[in-house]
């Protein structure tokens, strides 16, 4: 069973608009972390934002915020005031807490975001 | 810039050959994880090294092996290359040994693109 599901293979958004990238996850571990990464065409995975399963508030990092709905197992990324440089692949990932996270990150298939001028 | 460097950037091998990929971790990090990213897919966890020992492994055969050195740099070795091994190989470093996942964010290098002919 897929642990991370990203249902939007591609999205086109006008510059300066806000955009929401969807992510749902599945785990029975009560302790887990959720991550969003950006991957430009150069290939490097760039860390954007983190949300812990016990965090009471939604995470924010500059223009990025994470809409965390634990009961729905949803962790959507919101980018405010999109810019042309935001065009990239975006990946949602999860690490479960058992074994201290030694089992690595589980990634979704990604969303290809294209910002149009 | 994450401070994680990988070499080489590109590599072409033929089926049956062996390959070694290298990764230098970010200063202060003690853990290295390796991922395989096939074209159009999210990265898949291969294994993780902590204190020079493998402490986590994904669903990859034993012909995928690794090393971590005292300076925390790492190598990924793949024996008996197959066509399906063609992918982007990503290395990530992090700081383990803390009690919460929040401090264990993985920072990625730009990857090595391996083509197997």
Instruction: Report residue B69: phi and psi, to 5°.
Output: -100, 165
Please give the pLDDT value at position B28.
85
Longest dimension (CA), chain A: 46
Residue A107 to residue B107, Cβ atoms within 8 A:
no
- Asked, as a colleague might, if the bond just before B8 is cis with ω within 30 of 0, I would say yes
| Mean pLDDT (whole number) for A63-69 | 97
User: How far apart are the CA of A17 and the nearest CA of chain B, in angstroms?
Assistant: 26
DSSP assignment string, A12-56: EEETT--EEE--EE--S-SSEEEEEEEE-TT---EEEEEEETT-S
User: How far apart are the CA of A111 and the nearest CA of chain B, in angstroms?
Assistant: 10
Using an 8 Å Cβ cutoff, are A26 and A94 in contact? no
Tokens of A28: 């029975």
Q: Count contacts between A and B (CB, < 8 Å).
A: 80
Tokens of A67: 């809409």
Instruction: Report residue B42: phi and psi, to 5°.
Output: -80, 160
pLDDT band for position B68 (cuts 50, 70, 90) = very high
The angle subtended at Cα A107 by Cα A106 and Cα A112, nearest 5°, is 175
Using an 8 Å Cβ cutoff, are A80 and A20 in contact? no
Give pLDDT tens digits for A8-27.
Answer: 999 999 999 999 999 999 99
Q: With 70 as the cut, is the pLDDT of residue B101 above it?
A: no
Q: With 80 as the cut, is the pLDDT of residue B102 above it?
A: no
Judged by DSSP in three states, B73 sits in coil
Q: With 80 as the cut, is the pLDDT of residue A101 above it?
A: no
CA–CA gap between residue B89 and residue B35 (Å, rounded): 6
CA–CA gap between residue A114 and residue B27 (Å, rounded): 34
């Amino acid at each position: 069973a897929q642990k991370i599901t990203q249902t939007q293979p591609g999205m086109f958004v006008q510059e300066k608009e806000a955009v929401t990238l969807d992510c749902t996850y599945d785990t029975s571990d009560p302790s887990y972390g959720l991550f969003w990464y950006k991957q430009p065409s150069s290939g490097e995975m760039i860390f954007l934002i983190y949300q812990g399963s016990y965090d009471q508030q939604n995470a924010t990092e500059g223009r990025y915020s994470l809409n965390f709905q634990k009961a729905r197992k949803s962790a959507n990324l919101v980018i405010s005031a999109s810019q042309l440089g935001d065009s990239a692949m975006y990946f949602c990932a999860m690490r479960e807490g058992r074994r201290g996270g030694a089992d690595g990150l589980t990634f979704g298939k990604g969303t290809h975001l294209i910002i149009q001028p | 810039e994450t401070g994680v460097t990988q070499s080489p950037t590109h590599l072409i091998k033929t089926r049956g050959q062996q390959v070694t990929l290298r990764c230098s971790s970010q200063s202060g990090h003690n853990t290295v994880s390796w991922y395989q990213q096939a074209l159009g897919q999210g990265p898949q966890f291969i294994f993780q090294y902590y204190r020079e020992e493998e402490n986590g492994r994904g669903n990859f055969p034993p012909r995928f092996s690794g090393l971590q050195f005292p300076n925390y740099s790492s190598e990924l070795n793949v024996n008996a290359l197959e066509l399906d091994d063609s992918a982007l190989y990503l290395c990530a470093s992090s700081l383990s040994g803390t009690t919460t996942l929040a401090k264990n964010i993985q920072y990625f290098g730009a990857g090595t693109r391996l083509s197997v002919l």
